[in-house]
């Protein structure tokens, strides 16, 4: 899962939501030194990722990608799932997505003291550039994925993956709509 989905699924506290993103930046951090709710969010993040990686619909979705891009299919799906979550928000929440996004941006801005510098830099860009608002547009998803491809430290053919997403969008979206309600239910049981 990518950032928006982790925030959406996280336990309902600002600190746990911050921890739900910190899960991507936790390597080398003394998790025991974190406030309890932040640590709870990190644990939740890890359980969501483990469940997602093993789900049959996610595994089937990865097979929609060509062999040259399949190694990075999980990354593509993570970002794409934020797009599908926004597209189908009303299926998963009674809250307004814009209000939710504004609230989590405020929470991220006000909890910088528990973030490592790398996470703080990312969340500052996330808020300033309104990443989640941009994720409503599939072409912006393509832009985000191309930026990710530039940060991969070895030669790769991940750039342009949006074309494979567009070619398989109907199937990928259908599989997401089976997978995500199950994840939402299970995530509510994670501690």
Q: Would you list the domain boundaries of the chain? A: 3-187
Nearest to 89 by CA among 178, 172, 8: 8
pTM (2 d.p.): 0.92
pLDDT at 147: 86
At residue 111, the 3 state secondary structure works out as coil
Contact in structure between 89 and 177 (CB atoms under 8 Å): no
pLDDT at 25: 84
pLDDT at 169: 97
CA–CA gap between residue 146 and residue 124 (Å, rounded): 20
Contact in structure between 69 and 160 (CB atoms under 8 Å): no
pLDDT at 32: 78
65-74 — which CB contacts under 8 Å span 24+ positions?
A: 65/161, 65/164, 65/168, 66/164, 68/157, 69/157, 69/158, 69/161, 69/164, 71/156, 72/149, 72/152, 72/156, 72/158, 72/161
> 10-residue block means of pLDDT along the chain (191 residues)?
93 94 81 87 93 96 92 92 97 96 96 89 94 94 84 70 95 98 92 63
């Amino acid at each position: 899962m990518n950032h928006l989905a982790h925030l959406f699924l996280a336990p309902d506290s600002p600190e746990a939501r911050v921890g739900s993103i910190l899960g991507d930046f936790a390597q080398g951090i003394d998790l025991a030194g974190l406030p309890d709710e932040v640590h709870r969010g990190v644990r939740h993040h890890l359980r969501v990722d483990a469940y997602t990686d093993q789900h049959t619909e996610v595994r089937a979705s990865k097979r929609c990608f060509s062999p040259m891009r399949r190694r990075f299919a999980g990354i593509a799906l993570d970002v794409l799932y934020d797009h599908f979550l926004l597209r189908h928000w009303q299926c998963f929440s009674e809250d307004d997505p814009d209000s939710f996004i504004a609230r989590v941006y405020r929470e991220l801005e006000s909890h910088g003291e528990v973030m490592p510098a790398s996470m703080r830099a990312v969340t500052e860009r996330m808020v300033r550039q309104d990443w989640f608002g941009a994720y409503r547009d599939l072409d912006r998803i393509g832009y985000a994925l191309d930026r990710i491809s530039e940060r991969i430290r070895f030669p790769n053919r991940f750039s342009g993956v949006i074309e494979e997403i567009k070619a398989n969008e109907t199937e990928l979206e259908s599989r997401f709509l089976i997978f995500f309600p199950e994840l939402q239910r299970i995530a509510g049981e994670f501690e």
